Amino acid sequence: MRPIITAFDWVPDFARGQVRDLRVRWALEEVGQAYDVVYLSQGEQKAAPHRSRQPFGQVPTYEVGDLVLFESGAIVQHIADTHDGLFPADPSGRARAIEWMYAALNTVEPPIMDHAIATLFEADKPWSKPRLPSVMQRIEARFGELSDRLGDRRWLDGDVFTAGDLLMIAVLRIMEGDAVLAAYPNLVAYVARGTNRPAFARALEAQMAGFTGTPPPAVLAWLERQKAQQGETA
Ligand SMILES: N[C@@H](CCC(=O)N[C@@H](CS)C(=O)NCC(=O)O)C(=O)O
């Protein structure tokens, strides 16, 4: 049975290639599972039909048969549990892959999201600029610790790519091109190994091809205000 995921038909340029349905698409591509996509226009994610799938009014969701799931991490875990290719067969290897999934989403991603809030979503707020140095310090600390653990391993648990790598690379690449990541050549190489995988390329291409919609006027006005603000602070 083909699963159905949800994604947006439009997001601002800075979010293209980063919307979290990419993680689900990547997992599905890794395991060779075809899927369908229901596209939501901006705002539709907060309306009742989608809220019945996703209580927080966000994408992605995943439906297969009677099962409706939200949270990209839980979806990737379910895909890994129901297909070959993202979890090692032995229970200890599977447990370690799940450990890295949590580390990606619960330990490494939070300061990166704080960075996105300070530099994009709330860039026009007076608290964002003063907050940035401490956010950068927390990202640096996490990247340093992760770099130490990764060392010269190919993937987090050794030679086998798992769902833990998929989520960690999806999280790290939010900072791709930033000096804070460039300071750790082994992390840069690790991200490149992940994003060079054919399954990642297919997932990214599919997400980008889905942006066929138009922005609501309120979102356009917000983008204009952000641009003006950035011009002022540049
Ligand atoms: N923890 C959730 C986060 C989902 C999330 O933040 N989705 C964003 C897109 S990447 C979204 O739908 N934002 C629109 C909104 O919150 O209205 C997950 O991993 O699925």
- In angstroms, what is the span from residue 116 Cα to ligand 1's centroid? 13
Q: What is the pLDDT of residue 29?
A: 98
pLDDT attached to residue 219: 86
pLDDT of residue 233 exceeding 80? no
Distance (Å) from CA 21 to ligand 1 centroid? 9
pLDDT at 232: 61
Q: Say yes or no to pLDDT of 231 above 80.
A: no
Nearest CA to ligand 1 atom 6: 58
pLDDT at 117 over 90: yes
Ligand 1: does its nearest atom lie under 6 Å from the Cβ of 103? no
Closest atom of ligand 1 to CA, residue 71: 20
Cβ of residue 19 lying under 6 Å from some atom of ligand 1: yes
User: Looking at residue 227, what is its pLDDT?
Assistant: 78
The predicted structure's pLDDT at residue 24? 99
Backbone angles phi, psi at 37, to 5 degrees: -125, 130
CA torsion sign for 111, 125, 119, 226 is: positive
What pLDDT score does 225 carry? Answer: 81
pLDDT single digits (tens) 46-63: 999 999 999 999 999 999
Q: pLDDT value at position 100? A: 98
**14, 51, 59, 77, best to mutate for ligand 1 pocket (most atoms within 8 Å of CB):** 59
Q: What integer pLDDT is reported at residue 193 of this predicted model?
A: 98
Ligand 1 centre distance from Cα of residue 159 (Å): 31
* CB 61 less than 6 A from any atom of ligand 1: no
What is the average per-residue pLDDT within 222-227?
Answer: 82
- The confidence score (pLDDT) of residue 138 equals 98
- pLDDT tens for 153-181 read 999 999 999 999 999 999 999 999 999 99
Residues 229, 232, 234: CA angle, nearest 5 degrees:
105
User: Using CA atoms, how far apart are residues 190 and 195, in angstroms rounded to an integer?
Assistant: 9
pLDDT tens digits, one per residue of 176-221:
999 999 999 999 999 999 999 999 999 999 999 999 999 988 888 8
**Residue 41: pLDDT over 90:** yes
**Which pLDDT score, from 0 to 100, does residue 228 have?**
80
The mean of the pLDDT values for the chain is 96
**206: nearest Cα among 13, 3, 86, 35:** 35
pLDDT for res 132: 97
Q: What value does the mean pLDDT take over residues 2-20?
A: 97
What percent of the chain stands above pLDDT 70? 98
Distances (CA, A) of 141 to 134, 137, 159, 172, 209: 11, 6, 25, 13, 36
Q: 72 CB under 6 A from ligand 1?
A: yes
Are residues 39 and 7 in contact, defined by beta-carbon separation less than 8 angstroms?
A: yes
Distance 133 CA to ligand 1 centre (A): 25
pLDDT in tens, 137-155: 999 999 999 999 999 999 9
17 Cβ closer than 6 Å to some ligand 1 atom: no
Taking each helix axis as running N to C, give the angle between helix 198-209 and helix 21-31, from 0 to 180 degrees, rounded to the nearest 10.
Answer: 130
Q: Which two tokens stand for residue 119?
A: 């530099």
pLDDT at 234 over 70: no
**CA 20 to ligand 1 centroid distance, Å:** 7
* 3-state per-residue secondary structure call for the chain: CCCEEEEECCCCHHHCCCCCHHHHHHHHHHHCCCCEEEEECCCHHHCHHHHCCCCCCCCCEEEECCEEEECHHHHHHHHHHHCCCCCCCCHHHHHHHHHHHHHHHHHHHHHHHHHHHHHHHCCCCCCHHHHHHHHHHHHHHHHHHHHHHHCCCCECCECCCCHHHHHHHHHHHHHCCCHHHHCCHHHHHHHHHHHCCHHHHHHHHHHHHCCCCCCCHHHHHHHHHHHHHHHHHC
